[in-house]
Amino acid sequence: MYASWTVRHKPKTLGEIIGNPQAIADLVSWLRSWEQGIPKKRAALLYGPPGIGKTVTVEALASDWSLELVEKNASDYRTEEAVRTFAGLASQYGTLFGKKRLVLFDELDGLTGREDRGGVGAIIKVVKQARCPIVLIANNAYNPRLSSLRFYCLLIQFKKPNVRSVAKRLRQICQREGIEPEEEALKFIAQRSQGDVRSAINDLQALAQGKQQLTYEDVSWLAYRDRKDAIFNVLRLIFYSKSCDAAKSAVDMADVDHNMLFEWIYENMPYHLRDLEDLARAMESLATADLYRSRIRQTRNWKLTRYVVDFMTAGVAVAREKTEPAGFVPLRFPERIKTLSRTKKERQTKSKIGWKIKRRCHISAAEAITEFLPYLRVIFENNAGMASGIAKWLELDDAMVEYLAGTKKQAKAIVKAD
């Protein structure tokens, strides 16, 4: 059954909500003050950017305190009349069934001038006479339209949660959905959402639903989802321009940095330049651009960047003599960027194994990787018994054994073999 994860995994109690401890504490203590009679400010205005849990906080609070939540949001009309019918509800604290009541006006930013004519004024009237707590929610409390209302409200600011807590929340959801996520992948989604938890969860669902694992590779596309068209056009400009200027102008169109653009060109070029001599020339030009990159690294002279740009754009463009512009060629995400992130963990494991070998075999860790690792791999893939002895002697951990064994199955056999 398809259900939105933002709904399915909505926090049910205050304890599950990430971030904003101060705002929540303020809200709770204001609500508590209602026990001692009607406080000075009868309404609380929660404000802050979208998707960070303002509404969810109120809902969880109502549920924790067993309050009856009466809610109105932008989908309802908020003309004066509509609000007034609402006012009756707000006129008493207790309900017929003994439950206390909480009135919520959500999405106040949605009050538009004409359709919600008089809406703000009506809300102010309701607030002034309220006999039960009223919570108002808006993105921007300093919207001029809300200025008169602001005066009657306790202002409580909600802030964006940090990347770590968003990632933590995503991990909990993955756990409940039975998905094994890579830490890097979650961090990437969290970072991209810029604190908007709701959109982060939506992204997560779009990328991970139905999968058992979520890798960095799966999500790295996300960054280019919006830019894909832009990159596509930039590359066509570089591959098919007849003039140096046009090809060079592509760099300004691309909203990725030079190194990233270089990778896109390098990856996609052979699929466009189908005449081999054209391709060979273009490749040589790209290599020249790379040469300038290494010169920049060595001399720290960034002025040389302009030559990198020349050779990776104009140089590639003029290399085309015979190739006719191709029809549709699917865009390819740079393989090297994918593998770079995917293999990061592997490389770490490898170097750790190097240090283990160093401890035993009187060799540097760096040299151990070239001199021993390839042979260990053969042994671990083929002979669980021998591998198990070596693993123990070198004191390899499970991750290292699995790296050398190649598969989980063989790694298990090795662990069992002793």
Partner 1 sequence: MWVEKYRPRSLKSMVNQKDIVERLKSFAEARNIPHCIFAGPPGTGKTTAALCLAHDLYGEAYREHLMELNASDERGINVVRQTVKTFARVRTLGEIPFKILILDEADNMTSDAQQALRRTMERFTGTCRLILIANYSGKIIEPIQSRCAPFRFTYLPREDQDAYLRHISESEKVQLEAEGLNAIYEVCGGDLRRAINTLQAAASLGKPISNEIVYSVIGRANPLDVREMIQLAMNGNFIGARDKLREMIVKYGVAGSDIIRQIHRELFRMRDIPELWKVKLADAVGEIDYRLISGADEEVQLSALLARFIEAGITMRRSG
User: CA–CA separation, 78 vs 230, rounded Å?
Assistant: 41
Least Cβ distance, residue 371 to partner 1 (angstroms): 6
- Site membership for partner 1, residue 335 (CB under 8 A): yes
Q: Which residues contact 64 (CB under 8 A, 6 or more apart)?
A: 13, 14
DSSP readout, 17-69?
A: --S-HHHHHHHHHHHHHGGGS--S--EEEEE-STTSSHHHHHHHHHHHTTEEE
Exactly one of 140, 162, 233, 339 binds partner 1 (CB under 8 A); which one?
339
- Site membership for partner 1, residue 393 (CB under 8 A): yes
Least Cβ distance, residue 235 to partner 1 (angstroms): 16
- Residue number, 36 or 298, with CB nearest to partner 1: 298
DSSP readout, 282-302?
A: HHHHHHHHHHHHHHHHHH--G
DSSP readout, 352-363?
A: HHHHHHHHHHSS
Residues in contact with partner 1, counted by CB under 8 A, come to a total of 50
How many Å from the N-terminal Cα to the C-terminal Cα in the chain? 46
Question: How do 67-72 and 180-181 pair as beta strands?
Answer: unpaired
- Site membership for partner 1, residue 122 (CB under 8 A): no
Exactly one of 27, 189, 286, 401 binds partner 1 (CB under 8 A); which one?
286
User: CA–CA separation, 96 vs 68, rounded Å?
Assistant: 11
- Site membership for partner 1, residue 374 (CB under 8 A): yes
Least Cβ distance, residue 298 to partner 1 (angstroms): 6
Exactly one of 81, 321, 367, 418 binds partner 1 (CB under 8 A); which one?
367
- Site membership for partner 1, residue 272 (CB under 8 A): no
* The two structure tokens encoding residue 115: 């359709």
- Residue number, 167 or 309, with CB nearest to partner 1: 309
Exactly one of 82, 246, 283, 304 binds partner 1 (CB under 8 A); which one?
283
- Residue number, 25 or 276, with CB nearest to partner 1: 276
- Site membership for partner 1, residue 277 (CB under 8 A): yes
Which strands sit side by side in the sheet containing 134-138, from one edge to the other? 67-72, 100-105, 134-138, 43-47, 153-157
Mask: binding to partner 1, 340-359, rule CB under 8 A, as x and -?
---x------x-------x-
- Site membership for partner 1, residue 418 (CB under 8 A): no
Q: Which range of residues in 110-118, 203-211, 247-255, 275-283 is near partner 1 by CB under 8 A?
A: 275-283
DSSP H helices, 241-343, are 244-253, 258-272, 276-299, 305-312, 314-319, 335-342
Query: Of all helices (H) and strands (E), which one includes residue 180?
Result: strand 180-181
Question: CA nearest 42: which of 144, 154, 123?
Answer: 154
Radius of gyration from C-alpha coordinates of the chain: 30
Q: What is the DSSP letter of 181?
A: E
Contacts of partner 1 in 18-77 (CB under 8 A): none
- Residue number, 45 or 269, with CB nearest to partner 1: 269
Q: Which range of residues in 82-90, 205-213, 217-225, 290-298 is near partner 1 by CB under 8 A?
A: 290-298
Interacting residues with partner 1 (CB under 8 A): 266, 270-271, 276-277, 279-281, 283-284, 286-287, 290-291, 293-294, 297-298, 335-336, 339, 343, 350, 358, 360-367, 369-375, 377-379, 381-383, 386-387, 390, 393-394
